[in-house]
Structure 1
Amino acid sequence: MNYELIILGGGESGVGSAILAKAKGIRVFLSDSGMLKGEHRKTLVDYGIDFEEGGHTEESILSASEIVKSPGIPDTIPLMQKIISKGIRVISEIEFAGRYTHAKMICITGSNGKTTTASLIYHILKSAGLNVGLGGNIGKSFARQVAEENFDYFVLELSSFQLEGVYDFKADIAVLMNITPDHLDRYDHNMQNYVDAKMRIIRNHKMGDSFIYWIDDPVVTKEIEKLKPASDLYSFTEKNNQRAAAYSEGNKMYIQTKGTVFDMELELLALQGMHNLYNSMASGIVAKLLDISDDNLRLALSDFKGVPHRLEKVASVRGVQYINDSKATNVNSCWYALQSMRTKVVLILGGTDKGNDYTEIEELVRQKARGLIFLGKDNRKLRAFFDGIVPDIEEVNSMKDAVDTAYRMAEKGDTVLLSPCCASFDLFQNYEDRGNQFKDCVRRL
């Protein structure tokens, strides 16, 4: 049978895209090189969607007119090379689902902070009574929500991988938190390739669209000068800046949009720390552009619960605080975590290295680390960099051993911080699995 649409990858994104395609009367076929999760297999059967698992039937795939690709599949694998050489159009779930909704799109990307910011924006809008969905790189599949819900707004967290497959899709409000080196293994170790993927967040922007960004990020500001987007620009910064829409001064955060000024005491923000101030500022700008009242915004910024696996306090055991920052899969995320620490730290690092340069955290490690624990299958790169910088270094290859070692290494008043700088796939299913194992082990101490 000839299919109009092939979906590569049977995770949350792929299954959601298949459901939307089926709902729109498109002849769709889903193919996964691995075995599907039981819940995804059952969903496809229940919806009557044709699929295969444990390998790809190339003949069917190469006869497709369009392919929706899971963001995790790189273009370098042999099947993708054949697809590209045949000139078959390859798009992301975001591009596909965007065709079938008229909802207003609020899209967030960045090397760090995008999950927290997307979650906070969603919390603000939902608390204010807006009919809003949350998707993209977080929560339920965007495509499935388009098929089965009828939202007026979508808050979408978008990774660089998802943005690679965006062409006609447009973010009405685009938020770019920052750009620091990440996933360079995916981008031929060429930083500009990664930057180009991130900047697709403002692809198709025109007058009346909004672009919110961190004005102190030299990479982002250089790209803005180069690309000269037609959108309305709103920046945020730490200190008062005549050009910035959001800044802090004294003990307050200020947001200036549409001729109005919103202010809020910093100590009342649910999210504390400099990086979280940026997340609150970006979210606040979005809220004011959507005419959320000052009272509603103030309440939502003060009662937000935060994101699991991001500087998540787990427990205090014998005077030692344990913090789960498993979502820190790059060096810059770990830098933010270390910068926010006020005590000596036992730092758990390691996993699948994505082309990391640890120089960024070297000074903070020298200042704050009592000891380092390397949790990974291959710690040679970490050893080569950190040997001699910190006297107490241990290597482990299970989370239980990591937590037990940290328990012995830490002194009263210290913090044990899981902030790995690396992807989790060598020893864990994903960063959530890594963080959950950490929390379980800590609670058993």
Structure 2
Amino acid sequence: MHKGRLAILGGGESGIGAAVLGKNKGYEVFVSDFGHVQEKYKNVLIQNEIEWEEGGHSEARLLTAALCVKSPGIPDSAPIVVRMRESEIPVISEIEFGSWFTPAKLIAITGSNGKTTTAMLTHHLLKEGGLDVGLAGNIGDSFALQVVREPREYYVLEVSSFQLDGIQDFHPHISVITNITPDHLDRYENRMEYYTRSKLRIFENQTETDHFIYDLDDPVLAREIRPESMRPQAWPLSLEKPLEKGGMLNKNQIEIRTDTKLLKMNTDSLALEGLHNVKNTMAAATVAQLLGIRKETIRQSVANFQGAPHRLEKVLKIQHVQYINDSKATNVNATYYALESMKNPTVWIVGGVDKGNDYRSLLPLVREKVKAIICLGVDNTPIMEAFGNVVDLMVETYGMTEAVKIAYKIAKRGDTVLLSPACASFDLFENYEDRGDQFKAAVKSL
């Protein structure tokens, strides 16, 4: 490995993890954050005697690095990244860096929606099946930090397109793409094909002994994936088509065929609700089956799984009204799944930073299920324009407490109040977790 100077751009979860791993492996590490480094991360840097700066980049110093690990939040177009590449300094992501220092088998999961739930469920199945397995990437501790502190035989990694943009040799044993729908297009020059290309990099280093699982019902994947020309073995999933191998739905039975094994599960037994979660469960169960987990263990584990926080999370029932926190729905497609799984008249809280959303796909569901819309954002114009003629009642709010109080007044016995913003949270909140936590706190104080 080329030791020497390691520059780390971004002092967040992934940057700090990479810094600790780099220091442990003998690099001379320097962390540089254009903004502010949180107190908890500063403490880790101080404890590990790692040099750092915040509030700007010391360009001359950074350009002496032999290698740069970049936070997924920093775009490739950032001036410092451009200069480092011009100086022929390799700029990689933390999942790439982490993968250099572990012999573990990696299960990498990406997709526009469903990747967190699928990653959590996969980790749950493998752990219940007795494997020594960690969960990292976009969830919890960074991968690099776990490689140093909690070496495992397997890691389930939730990876974003931004993390995949920075890979070179990253080689998962099993890769999964849940779906590809427009998201983060602002980072890809508003070109869907660039975003798609990033996601498809997940299997570029896989070989014949590896596996790739994908959603055949997803139009982009159905068009892009040619199983016969791929190196890894491809396992498609479908709710619509009968398949000779992979995962399919037969009436209310999930059937998963891998080589000589057939696993059957009744959809009624799944802990997670909604058709999209049938697909997420298929993906996780296919991974488990490929890794030799017993069928009975898989069946029991999908039945007792607790879902991801902020993803269709039931908060409370107050006066026969169910409040649901789906703050993690930061794009239209995620909100589509949420609305699709609503069984009762719904008061829908929506809005935030709109990434050029096209709301048209939601119109039929809104007509059918939504009785009132509460806008929650600094600029609610796009939502007002999209749904103004579709629902009878529309209210603009600028804070979570106010939005929840209004929802409480509007909702009648048997209704559901759903926070599913379809937008990023950065206009009024720190992140989607903060938004979801504020929603839960506001509901609990009604």
Q: TM-score range by the shorter chain?
A: over 0.9
Deviation at 1:258, TM superposition (A): 2.2
- Take 1:392 and 1:86, find their aligned partners in 2: how far apart are those partners? 57
Aligned counterparts, 1:6-85, within 5 A: 6-85=7-86
Aligned counterparts, 1:165-204, within 5 A: 165-204=166-205
Deviation at 1:222, TM superposition (A): 1.4
Counterpart AA for 1:317: I
User: Bigger shift: 75-84 or 337-346?
Assistant: 75-84
- Take 2:122 and 2:110, find their aligned partners in 1: how far apart are those partners? 13
Deviation at 1:240, TM superposition (A): 5.2
2:244 aligned residue = 243
1:434 aligned residue = 435
- Take 1:426 and 1:243, find their aligned partners in 2: how far apart are those partners? 48
Counterpart AA for 1:101: T
2:331 aligned residue = 330
Q: Determine if contact 2:257/2:263 at 8 Å carries over to the other structure.
A: yes
2:120 aligned residue = 119
2:395 aligned residue = 394
User: Bigger shift: 400-409 or 234-243?
Assistant: 234-243
Counterpart AA for 2:324: I
Q: Determine if contact 1:205/1:229 at 8 Å carries over to the other structure.
A: no
User: Bigger shift: 77-86 or 402-411?
Assistant: 77-86
Aligned counterparts, 1:104-115, within 5 A: 104-115=105-116
Deviations 1:288-323 (A, max 9, x none): 000000121111111101110000000111111110
- Take 2:294 and 2:320, find their aligned partners in 1: how far apart are those partners? 42
- Take 2:96 and 2:260, find their aligned partners in 1: how far apart are those partners? 34
Aligned counterparts, 1:354-393, within 5 A: 354-393=355-394
Deviations 1:195-247 (A, max 9, x none): 01111111112211100011111101211139932110111111451334111
Aligned counterparts, 1:98-109, within 5 A: 98-109=99-110
For structure 2, the residue ranges without an aligned partner over 5 or more in a row are: none
1:135 aligned residue = 136
Q: Determine if contact 2:245/2:258 at 8 Å carries over to the other structure.
A: no
Q: Determine if contact 2:34/2:55 at 8 Å carries over to the other structure.
A: yes
Deviations 1:390-415 (A, max 9, x none): 22111111100110111112222111
1:144 aligned residue = 145
Aligned counterparts, 1:395-410, within 5 A: 395-410=396-411
- Take 2:299 and 2:243, find their aligned partners in 1: how far apart are those partners? 23
1:157 aligned residue = 158
- Take 1:408 and 1:335, find their aligned partners in 2: how far apart are those partners? 25
Counterpart AA for 2:216: I
Deviations 1:307-357 (A, max 9, x none): 100000001111111100000001000000000011111111111111211
Counterpart secondary structure, 1:185: helix
- Take 2:386 and 2:303, find their aligned partners in 1: how far apart are those partners? 40
1:307 aligned residue = 308
Q: Determine if contact 1:309/1:327 at 8 Å carries over to the other structure.
A: yes
Length, aligned pairs only: 444
Distance change (3 Å), C-alpha of 1:376 and 1:217? same
Distance change (3 Å), C-alpha of 1:238 and 1:300? same
1:259 aligned residue = 260
Residue 340 (str. 1) matches residue 372 (str. 2): no
User: Bigger shift: 234-243 or 63-72?
Assistant: 234-243
Q: Determine if contact 1:189/1:355 at 8 Å carries over to the other structure.
A: no
Deviations 1:5-40 (A, max 9, x none): 100011110000000000000111001112211111
Share of identical aligned residues, percent? 50
Counterpart secondary structure, 1:28: strand
Counterpart AA for 1:321: Q
For structure 1, the residue ranges without an aligned partner over 5 or more in a row are: none
Deviation at 1:260, TM superposition (A): 1.4
Counterpart AA for 1:281: M
- Take 2:381 and 2:4, find their aligned partners in 1: how far apart are those partners? 47
TM-score (normalizing by structure 1): 0.97
Q: Determine if contact 2:118/2:281 at 8 Å carries over to the other structure.
A: yes
Q: Determine if contact 2:6/2:68 at 8 Å carries over to the other structure.
A: yes
Counterpart secondary structure, 1:82: helix
- Take 1:244 and 1:309, find their aligned partners in 2: how far apart are those partners? 33
Counterpart AA for 1:88: I
1:232 aligned residue = 233
Deviation at 1:368, TM superposition (A): 1.0
Q: Determine if contact 1:215/1:244 at 8 Å carries over to the other structure.
A: no
Deviation at 1:3, TM superposition (A): 6.1
Counterpart AA for 2:61: S
- Take 1:74 and 1:374, find their aligned partners in 2: how far apart are those partners? 29
Counterpart AA for 2:231: A
Counterpart AA for 2:379: D
TM-score (normalizing by structure 2): 0.97
